[in-house]
Amino acid sequence: MSGHLTVAEAGESATIAAIQKAAPSSLNGDDAAVLHPTSSNSRHVCTTDVLVCDRHFSFLYSTAYEVGVKAVSQNFADIQAMGARPTAILLGIATPGDTDLGVISDLARGINDAAQPWGAELVGGDVVLSTDLVLSITAIGELGGPAAALTLGGAGVGHRVIASGPIGYSAAGLDILRHYGSREAIPKEDAIAQELVQWHCAPRLEVERGTVARAAGASSMTDNSDGLVRDLSMIAQRSGVRIDLNRSAITPDSTLLHAAEITGVDPWEWVLTGGEDHTLIGTTDARLPTTYRPIGMVRSRVAGDETTPYVTVDGVRPAYTKGWESLR
């Protein structure tokens, strides 16, 4: 590549060429990308996230490659939470002119690597100048077959609450990073701390958890992005129900207890409000989909009763309830 050129020195064509080299796609390079359906009842599903440097990610803690991986994981989690299969990514970059071209390449490489297990690819984008480094990631997925998408509003009383993947690991990883002050300061031999930091910086989701849940007849789904209580509250609100979590099913495991010892943080805070794991969480009145575990039950809720929370733990208000608020 071009050594230590900045994006301003490289210019638009060379910057786009570096991205296309790191994340090649034959669909990229025209006015817009054409996505071919792969199923007979194909519907497309789309979502977008905006990530601002030093607010949603930090190069103090993460490499550009990891930022690319995480950006894909969080958007693909939204696609999966509809029961769909991610197929394509669009990447918008607003960047200071003095950003090293290598940072942009590494970011694209992370996106490419995280998309590959899905057979998905980076099909288009835009690069412009700005003060902050701002990434805009759009993910597109495909929903095939006769079944409806998995929405927030499908939970019914008596359904089981289910999850696939860790809960609270990303937030624990962030607190470990804050505790040590840098990635390098974390003891290399502390494999648990390293694993949690990995979950924070570059979570890699197992593929097809959304399609598997939809095929198994799940009734609602979202991902743990803003915090378990907050995200499940969305399902409860839309479905007009209460979600009661089983305390023993979400009790901090030995990995989180280890992180709690290091940081002095109550691990229940990570579990209940951490978010950013992008673990799929939802409900079902059918069989448990593969890799999912039961973590609670859907209960009835009196409409208009504002004294009962939407999410309880063993029937009572959770110890922590706040979650990520993007404009505060």
Q: Closest approach of Cβ 43 to a copy of itself, in Å?
A: 5
The correct pick among 32, 146, 248, 264 for binding a copy of itself (CB under 8 A) is: 32
Q: Collapsing DSSP states into helix, strand and coil, what is residue 254?
A: helix
Nearer to a copy of itself, 81 or 193 (CB): 81
Residue 120 to residues 24, 25, 33, 295, Cα–Cα distance (Å): 11, 10, 13, 31
- Residue nearer to a copy of itself on the CB measure, 82 or 196: 82
Residue 290 binding a copy of itself, by CB under 8 A: no
Q: Does 82 bind a copy of itself (CB under 8 A)?
A: yes
| Residue 321 binds to a copy of itself (criterion: CB under 8 A) | no
Of 167, 322, 326, 135, the C-alpha closest to 256 is 167
Helices in 100-245 by DSSP H: which ranges?
A: 101-115, 169-180, 191-201, 209-215, 228-239
The stretch near a copy of itself (CB under 8 A) out of 73-81, 246-254, 259-267, 307-315 is 73-81
Q: Exposure string (b/e) for 240-255, b if CB count within 10 Å is 16 or more? A: ebbbbbebeebebeeb
User: Taking CB under 8 A as the rule, does residue 138 contact a copy of itself?
Assistant: yes
Q: Using the rule CB under 8 A, is 97 a contact of a copy of itself?
A: yes
Determine if 1 is a binding residue for a copy of itself (CB under 8 A). no
Provide CB contacts within 8 A for 246, sequence distance 6+.
294, 295, 296, 297, 313, 314
Q: What Cα–Cα distance (Å) separates residue 22 from each residue in 3, 47, 58, 89, 264?
A: 15, 23, 21, 14, 41
Q: How far is the CB of 292 from a copy of itself (least distance, A)?
A: 17
- Cα 52 to chain centroid distance, Å, stands at 15
Q: Does 256 bind a copy of itself (CB under 8 A)?
A: no
131 in a known ligand binding site: no
User: 61, 261, 55, 321: which is closest to 174 by C-alpha?
Assistant: 61
Least distance CB 2 / a copy of itself (angstroms): 13
CB of 183 to a copy of itself, least distance (A): 24
31 is in an annotated binding site: yes
117 vs 106: CA distance, rounded Å: 18
Does the annotation flag 118 for ligand binding?
Answer: no
Question: Can you tell me whether residue 62 is helix, strand or coil?
Answer: coil
Are the C-beta atoms of 15 and 127 separated by less than 8 Å? Answer: yes
Is residue 56 part of the contact set for a copy of itself (CB under 8 A)?
yes
Tell whether 223 is in a known binding site: yes
Tell me which residues in 188-247 interact with a copy of itself (CB under 8 A).
Answer: 221-223
Among 12, 261, 266, 314, contact with a copy of itself (rule: CB under 8 A): 12
Mask of contacts with a copy of itself, 111-130, x by CB under 8 A? ------------xxxxxxxx
The answer to whether 85 contacts a copy of itself (rule: CB under 8 A) is: no
Tokens (6 digits) for 205: 């989701």
48 is in an annotated binding site: yes
Binding segment toward a copy of itself, per CB under 8 A, in 24-32, 164-172, 186-194, 284-292: 24-32
Window of 5-13, 17-25, 170-178, 285-293 that interacts with a copy of itself by CB under 8 A? 5-13
Q: How far apart are alpha carbons 65 and 109 in whole angstroms?
A: 6
Cα–Cα distance, 200 to 157 (Å, whole number):
34
276 is in an annotated binding site: yes
Q: Where on the chain is the footprint of a copy of itself (CB under 8 A)?
A: 7-8, 10-12, 15, 29-37, 42-52, 55-56, 77-79, 81-82, 84, 88, 90-94, 97, 123-132, 134, 136, 138-141, 143, 149, 151-152, 221-223, 325-328
Annotated binding-site residues for ATP read: 125-126, 225
